[in-house]
Amino acid sequence: MADPELVDVVVLGLGVGGEEVAGRLAEAGLTVVGIERDLVGGECPYWGCIPSKMMIRAANALAEAHRVNELAGSAEVRPDWAPVAKRIREEATDTWDDKVAVDRFTGKGGRFVRGSGRLDGPNRVRVGDQVFETRYGIVLGTGTRPSIPPIDGLADTPYWTNHQAIEVEELPGSLLVLGGGAIGLELAQVFARFGVRVTVIEAADRVLAIEEPEASEIAAKALRADGVTIETAVRAERVSHDGTGFTVHTGDRGFTADRLLVVTGRKAHLEELGLDTVDMDATQRYLPVDERMHVTDGIWAVGDLTGEGAFTHIAMYQAAIVVADVLDHMRRTRGGPDASGTASVIGGAAGVASAVGGAMSAGESTAPGRVPVADYRALPRVTFTDPEVGAVGLTERQARDRGINVQVGYTDLTSSARGWIHKTGNAGFIKLVADADQGVLVGATSVGPAGGEVLSALVVAVHAAVPLSQLRHMIYTYPTFHRAIEEALRNLA
Ligand SMILES: Cc1cc2nc3c(=O)[nH]c(=O)nc-3n(C[C@H](O)[C@H](O)[C@H](O)COP(=O)(O)OP(=O)(O)OC[C@H]3O[C@@H](n4cnc5c(N)ncnc54)[C@H](O)[C@@H]3O)c2cc1C
């Protein structure tokens, strides 16, 4: 076994969060080893956000083309999956090859190691026969994998996860989607719009169960209009595959289809990370972090792994904090009595200071050490169905459960000027959740053709705790979808 090699920082897992941290620390002049066992960039560019949104863009183009018949003449639409699969293969993923991403990281000065790594005691990471010892710390960004429920028979079948659904070149005739969350609904609608007979099976009593009930209702209605069968409050008890098709057994019913897509959540695999070597519990669902992403001394975590929200924007937000904190930690260590000669920073103090400053701007509040801390009050999320379901902060239920003196304001998008003009495809609403005592919004939902975009105004309102009195006296452009926010404010009660 080779002696441990001393480096400044090791980043384990180069998904969205890890790649950002590793690249920025390398740019700041630290010796950074980035370890990735699969593809640099992780889930988002290869099997998540980007290809799924390309699929949605194509499916929405089909839906808009159908709307020509109601608005602008007639259109005959013949869906073809081939251009979508080609775009994902060639434009999004380079046929699932990460050379560009690896070059991007090494171009910033990082050192890339392909392999599966794990902690190997304090300040150490092992990957194969190599052991790295770190001067300043280790950043874990190992993400999550699909969480596959322990349903009788399921493990023995060739079910799909998001990977196979994104990589598909030829669509099946029919598809069962197990899980009616954001990913399940997005993919269900896409495939239905391309002619697949889709059934969504959800154990909760509504789809999009973590969002407002009104959002669940409108999303279910939209998918049903696209031909999707939605079964809620249905628990899959057994799954079988007869060589050609799947059956999901639920009590006395059975649902059959050519393919089965399992999208029932995600899980961090902590047991693989060697946490026991640093006296940490590896049996949890996620790795808890503090407001600066500290796991324990010398270890930070970033992204889905932390359980703070499985979104690329959360991973990037946390990454900025980690970069600032690692650099701050390094600055303090170097200022110490015996660390000055060991750091390999080539950017010098000025380079480090500017890197810290740059990272700080992404954070919310700053602590005495000038490092931002995480603030998830205004966590935004969008389910990119048609209509889009955007939400920020607390739902009405969550706000009431927290004992907040809640006021709710609701307005239907179809009754707004823009919704009425838009006509077909105009389903949506704005729902505001206000803290009446504080006079601010604590949550909001924006559903509509541009629900995710309209959300941005509401994110600012929640994030900056803009007084309701100010929101009421703003000027909202006529006739936009976001102008419905003004009406919802008027309806707060
Ligand atoms: C279908 C789908 C659609 C999505 N759409 C959106 C969206 O529209 N918007 C949005 O914000 N988010 C979306 N997400 C979520 C988003 O993809 C994730 O939040 C994001 O990828 C998380 O980044 P991460 O860095 O935490 O982890 P990941 O992207 O999961 O990356 C972790 C990396 O670590 C590597 N790794 C794990 N263990 C080891 C090890 N021991 N050694 C070496 N490497 C290791 C993995 O191979 C992986 O590359 C979507 C997800 C899916 C599945």
Residue 334 confidence (pLDDT) = 84
Distance (Å, rounded) from C-alpha 430 to C-alpha 426?
13
**Does the Cβ of 141 fall within 6 Å of ligand 1?**
yes
Give me Rg for the CA atoms of the chain.
Answer: 24
Distance (Å, rounded) from C-alpha 251 to C-alpha 247?
12
Return the residue whose CA atom lies nearest to atom 37 of ligand 1.
Answer: 142
**Beta partners for residue 140, in sequence order:** 12, 301
Q: How far is the CA of 226 from the centre of ligand 1 (A)?
A: 29
Choose which residue among 102, 261, 312 to substitute to test ligand 1 binding: the one with the highest number of ligand atoms within 8 A of its C-beta.
312
Digit-coded pLDDT (tens) for 446-483: 999 999 999 999 999 999 999 999 999 999 999 999 99
**Does the Cβ of 35 fall within 6 Å of ligand 1?**
yes
Collapsing DSSP states into helix, strand and coil, what is residue 112?
strand
**Does the Cβ of 52 fall within 6 Å of ligand 1?**
yes
* Nearest atom, ligand 1, residue 15 CA: 31
Angle at 385 between CA 380 and CA 388, to 5 degrees: 50
Return the residue whose CA atom lies nearest to atom 19 of ligand 1.
Answer: 311
Q: Which helix (H) or strand (E) holds 259?
A: strand 259-262
**Does the Cβ of 316 fall within 6 Å of ligand 1?**
no
- Average pLDDT (99-115) is 98
**Does the Cβ of 313 fall within 6 Å of ligand 1?**
yes
Collapsing DSSP states into helix, strand and coil, what is residue 86?
helix
Q: Computed from CA positions of residues 13, 16, 18, 22, in that sequence, does the dihedral angle turn out positive or negative? A: positive
- Average pLDDT (198-214) is 98
Residue 337 confidence (pLDDT) = 40
* Contact call for residues 413 and 426 (beta carbons, < 8 A): yes
* Contact call for residues 422 and 412 (beta carbons, < 8 A): no
* Contact call for residues 285 and 268 (beta carbons, < 8 A): yes
Q: How far is the CA of 42 from the centre of ligand 1 (A)?
A: 5
Distance (Å, rounded) from C-alpha 396 to C-alpha 151?
33
Collapsing DSSP states into helix, strand and coil, what is residue 276?
helix
**Does the Cβ of 429 fall within 6 Å of ligand 1?**
no
- Average pLDDT (98-115) is 98
Confidence band of 360 (pLDDT split at 50, 70, 90): very low
Instruction: State the DSSP code for 287.
Output: -
Burial call 124-162: b when 16+ CB within 10 Å, e when fewer: bbbbeebbbbbbbbbbbbbbbebbeeebebbeebebbbb
Digit-coded pLDDT (tens) for 151-182: 999 999 999 999 999 999 999 999 999 999 99
Digit-coded pLDDT (tens) for 307-323: 999 999 999 999 999 99
Residue 335 confidence (pLDDT) = 74
Choose which residue among 56, 142, 381 to substitute to test ligand 1 binding: the one with the highest number of ligand atoms within 8 A of its C-beta.
142
- Average pLDDT (122-141) is 97
- Average pLDDT (373-387) is 98
Q: Token match 């005959």: residue? A: 76
- Average pLDDT (137-150) is 97
pTM of the full structure: 0.94
Digit-coded pLDDT (tens) for 333-347: 887 443 333 333 333
Q: Token match 């979508």: residue? A: 84
- Average pLDDT (283-292) is 94
Return the residue whose CA atom lies nearest to atom 49 of ligand 1.
Answer: 42
Angle at 255 between CA 187 and CA 197, to 5 degrees: 40
End-to-end CA distance of the chain: 69
Q: In Å, what is the CA distance from 403 to each residue of 107, 160, 330, 464?
A: 51, 42, 42, 21
Confidence band of 367 (pLDDT split at 50, 70, 90): very low
Return the residue whose CA atom lies nearest to atom 35 of ligand 1.
Answer: 13
Confidence band of 371 (pLDDT split at 50, 70, 90): confident
Q: Which tokens go with 411?
A: 């307005």
**Does the Cβ of 134 fall within 6 Å of ligand 1?**
no
* Nearest atom, ligand 1, residue 269 CA: 38
Distance (Å, rounded) from C-alpha 28 to C-alpha 9?
12
Using the predicted structure, report yes or no on whether residue 89 has a pLDDT greater than 70: yes
Choose which residue among 12, 43, 289 to substitute to test ligand 1 binding: the one with the highest number of ligand atoms within 8 A of its C-beta.
43
Q: Which residues have C-beta within 8 Å of that of residue 116, sequence separation ≥ 6?
A: 37, 127, 272
- Average pLDDT (343-354) is 34
**Does the Cβ of 37 fall within 6 Å of ligand 1?**
yes
* Contact call for residues 201 and 211 (beta carbons, < 8 A): no
Digit-coded pLDDT (tens) for 246-255: 999 998 899 9
Q: How far is the CA of 299 from the centre of ligand 1 (A)?
A: 19
Residue 251 confidence (pLDDT) = 87
* Contact call for residues 70 and 423 (beta carbons, < 8 A): yes
* Nearest atom, ligand 1, residue 116 CA: 42
- Average pLDDT (125-153) is 97
Choose which residue among 12, 19, 49 to substitute to test ligand 1 binding: the one with the highest number of ligand atoms within 8 A of its C-beta.
49
Residue 1 confidence (pLDDT) = 63
Residue 372 confidence (pLDDT) = 87
Distance (Å, rounded) from C-alpha 379 to C-alpha 418?
27
Distance (Å, rounded) from C-alpha 148 to C-alpha 262?
7
Query: What's CA 132's distance to the chain center, in Å?
Result: 30
Return the residue whose CA atom lies nearest to atom 53 of ligand 1.
Answer: 48
Q: Token match 């009425």: residue? A: 420
Q: How far is the CA of 144 from the centre of ligand 1 (A)?
A: 6
* Contact call for residues 249 and 240 (beta carbons, < 8 A): yes
Distance (Å, rounded) from C-alpha 397 to C-alpha 167?
38
* Nearest atom, ligand 1, residue 310 CA: 19
* Nearest atom, ligand 1, residue 115 CA: 43
Digit-coded pLDDT (tens) for 392-414: 999 999 999 999 999 999 999 99
Using the predicted structure, report yes or no on whether residue 234 has a pLDDT greater than 70: yes
- Average pLDDT (206-217) is 98
Q: DSSP labels for 405-440?
A: -EEEEEEEGGGSHHHHHH-TT---EEEEEEETTTTE
Distance (Å, rounded) from C-alpha 174 to C-alpha 477?
44
